[in-house]
Amino acid sequence: MSASSNRLFSLQDIIGFAILAAVIFILLPLALDTFRLNLFGKYLTYAFVAVGLVLCWGAGGILSLGQGVFFGLGGYCMAMFLKLEASTPENTAIQSTPGIPDFMDWNQLTALPWWWEPFNNLAFALFAVVAVPVIFAFIIGVAMFRRRVGGVYFAIITQAFAAILTILIIGQQGFTGGVNGITDLRTLNGWDIRTDEAKELLYFVNGILLFACLFIAQFVRKSKLGRLLIAMRDQEDRVRFSGYDVASFKIFIFCLGAAFAGIGGAMFTLQVGFMSPTLVGIVPSIEMVIFCAVGGRLSIIGAVYGALLVNWAKTSLSETFPELWLLGLGGLFIAVVMLFPNGLAGVYAEHVAPRIARLFSKTSTTEAKQSKQSPAE
Amino acid sequence: MTDKKIPAKLAGPSRRAFMAGTAALTASLFAPKHLRAADFPTADVNTTGLAVTDDTVTIGILHSVTGTMAISETGSVQAEKLAIEQINAQGGILGRKIEYIQEDGASDWPTFAEKARKLLVNDKVASVMGCWTSASRKAVLPVFEQHNGFLYYPTFYEGLEQSPNVIYTGQEATQQIIAGLDWVTQTKGAKSFYLLGSDYIWPRTSNKIARAHIEKFMEGTKVVGEDYYPLGHTQFNSVINKIRLRKPDVIYAIVVGGSNVAFYKQLKAAGIDPAEESPIVLTISVTEDEIRGIGGENVEGAYACMKYFQSLENENNIAFVKAFKEMWGDDMVIGDVTQAAYLGPWLWKAAVEKAGSFDVDKVRAASPGIEMTTAPEGYVKIHENHHLWSKTRVGRAQADGQYEVVFETAELVEPDPFPEGYQ
């Protein structure tokens, strides 16, 4: 690796970030109406998960097939706050017990469960959006990595967690809304999240948060920790023999990925207006890995494009071919994996970046030549 | 609004035209042109910017055609398309042909919400035929209320809901359950019940109503067990053993979807043959569609309580079954929900013509009291609470996958989505 890659941002990184910022903050808002922009906002919430996966999987070699768990936990924490706010006694006057969420009433609960109480507080809910997934990830991480469970076994166990949490959510419908999820969310601290203005504002908040996560991810990758992660991915034993506490690094990066996913989940809830167990289970968790794979599992920017592209393809294919779209999507995945094993980022690195680099080096050499020549003239 | 007076007899589909609808071409040539678009200028009948032109009106079809629910929802899509084709063959609505935009909910509730918003916001559809599971309905409900869309929802469901933006064309829980329980106690002398269901809101609420009826409103009957299993569960041996121990007179089963296949096969393997009627198996969740999966020989003799069976012998239904098979193939079966889905476009047409407008507010105002005499299930009428008055019927499953109707209520049952005393 050249010395320049140790800087936080190489020229290439800067170009990449600038293009992504232009796409998210200028191009999409200008090109799309509110409905479509809101959809892209939803896709971007998956990008949080994909960025976390790039750190865990691409850099650290920890393939988690259960990121939906963290996305879901973050989303549910947000949804609980919003649901309590929507369940004022006036709004729920027709229920047997007014003032509690409607699904609790349907399930014969007569009082709010104690662990729902703190979610009346926005600050607590926002804290929980990050803290709950991180605590969960920490417990899984300690249990797994301290015992040196890795690779395929880790992937399977995370998948089991996704299944367990889904069954738990669906089974405890009095407390969680069951299969229906937590629906009909209206306001955030009195601010109606269903209006067009709110949707647009939330899109930009989402974009800013995503960039914050991207910067953190970039910082981690360029730090010593990032280099150790790659070393661990390639030769874990050697890193351990060198005296590093491999498990702690892994736990940290896994928790960071969970935190990103939790934020993504909360933004999903805000933009879509509800949360349901269909975003928690095995299938969505695997889909999230696919976003990351399509974008390129080594590139945090690629992961964002991957999430955008796959979901956009999903929406437009299903709108155009409502009965055949899954085949098209499957074809897309196969094509990407066959033709571009490193995803979109790989295509960029192999074909686009060298040309840009050449362009820049040409201009810089001509500039250099000119500057050399000019004094002579 | 310019109120165009429509002759009352033309407000509903005429039977002759309805029968002719099976042969679309013939019908389009000979069906009387009741209402011509020219008499209803677009500016008058559509003041809210819906997708209505001088010749066409666009509606949405929103069901799962992929994912786990596809097997159930396909029948609804087919029935809705059949109704649309028949209505078009008769000359459409207010002289306008119905076009539809179909979206796939993909058995995924957030996708349902996204597609509903797309249909209402982008496509400006005049109404939507759609949804199947309660979860998908709950997911789209806020979208319909926010954008003032109009949804025709076909599935029998748990009740506890009444939206100004939804017409419920299936039965709510009390309509489906109470008459069936009364029938089984009165004619079969059943005294004890074992309640069983899949673990989500519809079975739980349905069983809550059943339990309340058994314990509070009937003499000398009791519930001896109640159990729930997750969606997709396939191991029912332990509960079957419990059932054998407690010896109920009736197994009241609300297992849904694919779990039914395992449940009825394991029941029979354990020596409980529904045909022997000891105990009696009574279900509200096995339609002709599910029997295709279970196999007629495994479920023969079980009783189902719903409002429609394919085997109903009346003129309307014979024509409907014939038209359905002509359009979708001879091997198709028609279940309760499929029929309810078929009612959607017709009820909407009647309401639009009564209102003389496509505007959702006016269609809503016109909806209560709309009658349909040509429904395959017989006569139905829209209640103020947006549900249908309908009969409750009990059918006995036959080995050939059809139900033999053994009982039907004499009167239409009033829909009561918020039943007093059953909470």
What ipTM was estimated for this complex? 0.85
DSSP B62: E
pLDDT tens track for B171-185? 999 999 999 999 999
CATH number of B37-171+312-390: 3.40.50.2300
Query: Is B135's Cβ below 8 Å from some Cβ in A?
Result: yes
What is the CATH superfamily name and number for domain B176-306+395-408?
Response regulator (3.40.50.2300)
Per-residue pLDDT of chain B in tens (423 residues, 90 and over written 9):
444 444 444 444 444 444 444 444 444 444 445 678 888 999 999 999 999 999 999 999 999 998 878 878 999 999 999 999 999 999 999 999 999 999 999 888 999 999 999 999 999 999 999 999 999 999 999 999 999 999 999 999 999 899 999 999 999 999 999 999 999 999 999 999 999 998 888 898 899 899 999 999 998 999 999 999 887 788 999 999 999 999 999 999 999 887 899 999 999 999 999 999 989 999 999 999 889 889 999 999 999 999 999 999 999 999 999 999 999 999 999 999 999 999 999 999 999 999 999 999 999 999 999 999 999 999 999 999 999 999 999 999 999 999 999 999 999 999 999 988 776
pLDDT-derived band at A6, boundaries 50, 70, 90: low
- Cross-chain residue pair A180–B65, CB shorter than 8 Å: no
Q: A204 in contact with B at a CB cutoff of 8 Å?
A: no
3-state secondary structure at position A342 = coil
pLDDT tens digits, residue range A172-230? 888 999 888 999 899 999 999 999 999 999 999 999 999 999 999 999 999 999 999 99
CA distance A323 to chain B (A): 6
Q: How far is B349 from chain A (nearest CA, A)?
A: 25
Show residues of chain A in contact with B418, CB under 8 Å: 94
**Predicted pLDDT of residue B391:** 96
Tokens standing for residue A120: 């009346």
Give Cα B60 to chain centroid, integer Å. 17
Q: For the sheet containing B378-382, what is the strand order?
A: B371-375, B378-382, B388-389
| CB B303, CB B184: distance < 8 Å | yes
Backbone phi and psi for residue B62, each to the nearest 5 degrees, phi listed first? -130, 95
Q: CB-based contact (8 Å) between B209 and chain A? A: no
Q: Which two tokens stand for residue B120?
A: 């209402």
Is A101's Cβ below 8 Å from some Cβ in B?
no
A157 vs A372: CA distance, rounded Å: 62
**Which residues in chain A are closer than 8 Å to B118, comparing Cβ atoms?**
35, 319
Q: Which of B102, B114, B138 sits opposite A322 (nearest CB)?
A: B102
Comparing CA positions, the residue from A122, A264, A129 lying closest to residue A188 is: A122
What b/e sequence results for A189-204 when a residue is b if at least 16 CB atoms lie within 10 Å of its CB, and e otherwise? eeeebeeeebbeebbe
Instruction: Answer for the pair B284, B254: CB distance below 8 angstroms, yes or no.
Output: yes
Mutation target for A interface from B109, B132, B140, B158: give the one with most A CBs within 10 A: B109
The answer to whether residue A180 neighbours chain B at the CB level (below 8 Å) is: yes
Domain ranges of chain B: 37-171+312-390, 176-306+395-408
B333-370 in b/e form (b: 16+ CB < 10 A) is: bbbbbbbbbbbbbbbbbbbbbbbbbbbbebbbebbeeb
Domains B37-171+312-390 and B176-306+395-408 agree in fold: yes
Q: How far apart are CA B204 and CA B160, in angstroms?
A: 12
Q: Residue A30's Cα: distance from chain center in Å?
A: 24
Q: Is B165 on the interface with A (CB under 8 A)?
A: no
Q: Which two tokens stand for residue B235?
A: 């191991």
Q: A280 touching B, CB under 8 A?
A: no
Candidates B142, B370, B127, B399; CA nearest to B274 is B399
pLDDT digits (tens, 9 = 90+) for B19-33: 444 444 444 444 445
